[in-house]
Structure 1
Amino acid sequence: MIDSQISHYLDVLKNRNFAKLWVSQITSQLTNYILSFAILIKVFELTNSTISVSLIIMAFGVATLFFGSLAGVYADRFDRRWLLTIINFGQALSIALYFLVGDDFWGLVLITFLYSSLNQFYIPAEAPSIPRLVKENQILIANSFFAFTNSAALIIGFAAAGPMSSAFGHAAPYTVGVGLLVVAGLATMSLPSLKPPVVHENPYSFSKIWHEFKEGIAHFWENSRLHYPLVSLIAIQIINGMMITIAPAFMKEAIGINLDTGSIFIVAPLGIGILIGAALLGFEERFLSKRQLVRMGFLGMGTMLVGLSLIGLVDFKYVYYSFFGLLIGYFNAHIFAPSHSMLQTHAHEHLRGRIYGALYVMLQVAATLPTIIIGVLADVLPIASMAAILGGLLLLYGLLDPVYQRR
């Protein structure tokens, strides 16, 4: 049984075109995490305020609101191979702006906004390309690979950002990021054509773009099988965004770890947990439905966050954090890959880009106020109590799922 399951994973990896997309995902995500952590830590050091960290995260959000509705439509209009390639090289140029603005706070906000603006076009072009490159029965495994390497990039990126800056200067993460994105661009450039199945006339007409964006929203609204994965992805992204907002303060105040050199000790348990969870998904799918896997993720992650909030009661804080962090990561993996797999399976092929574009617009609309609130609360309340609040929200979502399912 185990040998058979391993062969299924290897079959996906033998697909050279999927491997190229995977290389782009690895390098672009590694860049994302290296830069995100470097910028967040630098902003926290400059201002010593979680609210300022919230502003950086909001810069990502503003880009989503400006371009999210357009991005999904364009992902369904143009060859996704060239969209991914142009975006990878464009993001490399946006990161290179650091060498002009330096460590200026508003300069970092500008880089974040430009990088995120381009990322809005990358996301709805990348994820919907997976079903074009693998067989339908391989979609969950393919998404598991993406979740797996996303976690590896999380570990390496967050762990390397602080020491890299300390050893080679604050410009080092940006130099590495430019190089990685060039590799990503070269990988996607060699993909086969990923043209949409429906050819559109006058692709630059704003009225047509807006009409097609609304068409994607209507498809989501009318297709009940898309509701649960979309809402689940929005919910977990909001919680993850709030966790990132409080992460620097939690490291410093709750665990007592140096922000520059200790990042690996924070990220490693979370990332290893996600790696384990993603690796086991293909096996667990034999016994549980995708929806059950997602619900298991919400309930398990919520319980672990509530447990983590009690860290102030123990002396061996890092050991305590490592245990709960590992399980938080494990359950987190059970939300993303199954939700994306359901979304890609049930959405119409010619609407997938719009569905993903709409997903991230709805995500940002929903996440804006909570991100601000958590930043304000983290500056006035004990930081560990924030984990209890986030855990309670996840538990509530998981417990309400059976009620919604019976409707």
Structure 2
Amino acid sequence: MTVTESVPINRNFNFLALWLSQVFSQIADKIYLVLVISIISQKLFSPEVEISPFVTGLMVAFTVPAILFGSVAGVFVDRWSKKVVLMASNLLRGGLVLVIPLTIGALGTGKYSYEALLIITFLVSTLTQFFTPAEQSAITLVVEREQLLTANSVYATTVMGALILGFAVGKPALQFADVCLGQWGQEILVGGCYAIAGLILGTLATGEKISEQQESHIWQDLQEGIEYVKTQPIVQGALVQLVTTYSVMAALTVLAVQIAEIMPQLQTDEFGYLLSVSSVGIALAAGILGKFGKLLPYQRSILVGTIGMTTALAGLILTTKELIPALLTVGAIGIGAGLCVIPMQTIIQEKTPEQMRGKVFGLQNNIVNVALSLPLALAGFAESYWGLPIVLVGLGGFALLGGVLSFYLICRPPQVS
């Protein structure tokens, strides 16, 4: 049940509050890793120390909570107020970032401060696992069902905008904060963004009714979420498509480095330009769906997006040494990905009962995080072993297979329990 009358998205105060908080939260998310890597390289260790092992440890600390707590967090989100979870996760993340300079000041540079930074990063990532399913559930509480596709399109555009911002101006923004706000201005910038996001959510009215406290059966609730997904082929299809698309985009993140390395017009460390263009493509798809999504059935959106991604991945083989064609091709991959991801997220929101949303979104968060992590680990190895063209063909085949399977599942009727 939503608390919002049927009004346009741009006049829905609760959605605008949720969206504006997301803007600040996403900016903080995208700049956080840039911040902590900068702290490791510039403040914790001397220049002659090789920081790669320390950065690897940091990435592990950031990734592990997504695998450990993604599904479990969704169970608790179903039991708690979504507004409280959203506010608390943002404010606590902001507080943790602001603790970083105090920790380094107390422990000094070196090993102990690095270990403290790992713990802080682990906690920030753990709080994010609660934030994500709560946010997806909250959208359905403040937006009418017929406006969910538009709302998800706006959200996707914001996420991609934050991603572009992270690649393009993350480091300059931290340098600017350092100059304007003093020695620990970078932490104030990131922690402040989280805090502002939390405070904005204080104005949010979800209208949700919190049931009386029940005895917790976490594993039983997890099983309920899994069993629900088993009986809903349309939700299974949406999850398959999300996993497929996120896997392709994660692999592209690694392969972009290789493409930049062999492209005469780019330096290797300028691979972010390619990723930014893919983000622009997803944002364009979000705009198309926001404007014309009601005229494009979900099944057709999958087919168009899958064909677009598959064709563009194959075309990328022919454009890796020419900048403009490569940028256009990567942008087309982004458009195809957006046409797949945004409607699938909307399907999950529409088809999942309110009391099950936290469980299902937590399960989705867990699956997607694995889908993002494995290609990051395997794509570089595959490229060095088989070569870039074969890997791109393989990715195209994987995208096609995932799209076909998703289309098949979405067209199946739900099982009667």
Of the three residues 11, 14, 20, the one matched with 2:11 is 14
Q: Show structure 1 runs of 5+ residues with no match.
A: 1-8
The separation in 2 between residues aligned to 1:172 and 1:161, in whole angstroms, is 14
Q: CA deviation at 1:341?
A: 0.8
Q: Is the 8 A contact 1:165 1:171 kept in 2?
A: no
**Could you tell me how far apart the structure 1 residues matched to 2:74 and 2:404 are?**
32
**SS of 2:237 mapped into structure 1:** helix
Is the 2:133–2:361 contact (alpha carbons within 8 Å) kept by the matching residues of 1?
A: yes
2:209, 2:110 → 1: CA distance?
41
Residue 257 of structure 1: aligned partner: 267
User: Contact 1:307–1:324 (CA<8 Å) still a contact in 2?
Assistant: yes
Distance in 1, Cα, partners of 2:334 & 2:26: 17
Structure 2 residue matching 1:116: 3-state secondary structure:
helix
AA of the residue aligned to 2:228: H
2:158 paired residue number: 149
Residues 1:156 and 1:213: Cα distance change in structure 2 (over 3 Å): same
Shift in Å at residue 342 of structure 1? Answer: 0.6
Deviations 1:242-267 (A, max 9, x none): 333444554445463363xx466334
Alignment of 1:218-297 (within 5 A): 218-248=227-257, 250-254=259-263, 256-257=266-267, 259=269, 262=270, 265-297=273-305
Q: 1:69 aligns with which of 56, 68, 71?
A: 71
* Conserved 8 A contact 1:124-1:357: yes
Greater alpha carbon shift after TM alignment, 337-346 vs 354-363: 354-363
- Cα–Cα, structure 1 residues 284 and 193, in superposed 2: closer, same or farther, change >3 Å? closer
1:359 aligns with 2:364: yes
Change (3 A) 1:238 1:172: farther
Residue in 2 that maps onto 1:127: 136
1:36 Cα deviation from its structure 2 partner: 4.3
Structure 2: runs of 5+ lacking an equivalent:
1-5, 42-46, 413-417
- Hey, what's the Cα distance between the residues in 1 that align with 2:160 and 2:203? 25
Q: 1:117 aligns with which of 112, 116, 126?
A: 126
Q: Scaled by the length of structure 1, what TM-score is found?
A: 0.82
CA distance in 2, matches of 1:399, 1:176: 44
Which of 169, 186, 191 is matched with 2:199 structurally? Answer: 186
Determine the C-alpha separation between the residues in 2 that align with 1:26 and 1:41: 23
Cα displacement string for residues 129-185 of structure 1 (whole angstroms, at most 9, x for unaligned residues): 111101111111111110111121121222112434566669765442212111101
- One-letter amino acid of the structure 1 residue matched with residue 144 of structure 2: K
Q: Give the residue type in structure 2 aligned to 1:189.
A: G
Specify which of 324, 333, 343 is matched with residue 328 of structure 1: 333
Write the deviation string for residues 33-89 of structure 1: whole angstroms up to 9, x where unpaired: 22345668999999797x998766554442122212221011111111111011001
2:91 partner letter: F
CA distance in 2, matches of 1:405, 1:251: 38
Q: Any conservation in 1 of the 2:301–2:340 contact (CA below 8 Å)?
A: yes
Indicate yes or no: 2:30 matched with 1:33.
Answer: yes
**Greater radius of gyration (CA):** 2
Q: Is 1:137 aligned to residue 146 of structure 2?
A: yes
Q: Using a 3 Å threshold, how does the CA distance of structure 1 residues 166 and 103 change in structure 2: closer, same or farther?
A: farther
Write the distance in 1 (CA, Å) between the matches of 2:175 and 2:268: 12
Q: Which amino acid aligns with 2:199?
A: L
For residues 191 and 361 of structure 1, do their structure 2 counterparts lie closer, same or farther at Cα, with a shift above 3 Å needed? same
Relative distance call for 1:279 and 1:52 in structure 2 (3 A) is farther
TM-score of the pair, normalised by structure 2: 0.80
**Identity across aligned pairs (percent)?**
26
How many residues are aligned here? 389
> Letter of the aligned partner of 1:120 in structure 2?
Q
Report the equivalent of 1:340: 345
Gap change, CA 1:198 and 1:342, over 3 Å in 2: farther
**In the alignment, which of 217, 222, 225 is matched to residue 226 of structure 2?**
217
Task: Answer yes or no: is 1:299 the counterpart of 2:307.
Answer: yes
CA contact (8 A) 2:154 2:290 kept: no
CA distance in structure 2 between the partners assigned to 1:226 and 1:179 by the alignment: 37
Q: For residue 229 of structure 1, what is the amino acid of its counterpart?
A: A
- Is the alpha carbon distance of 1:359 and 1:103 closer, same or farther for their aligned partners in structure 2, counting shifts above 3 Å? farther
Cα distance change, pair 404–213 in 1 and its aligned pair in 2 (3 A): closer
The 8 Å contact of residues 220 and 226 in structure 1, kept in 2 or not, is answered as yes
1:397–1:225 Cα change, 3 Å: closer
What is the CA–CA distance in structure 1 between the aligned matches of 2:37 and 2:384, rounded to whole Å? 16
- 1:83 touches 1:125 (CA, 8 Å); kept in 2? yes
Structure 2 residue matching 1:309: 3-state secondary structure:
helix
Query: SS where residue 79 of structure 2 aligns?
Result: coil
| Structure 2 Cα separation of the partners of residues 185 and 368 of structure 1 | 28
The SS at the match of 2:252 is: helix
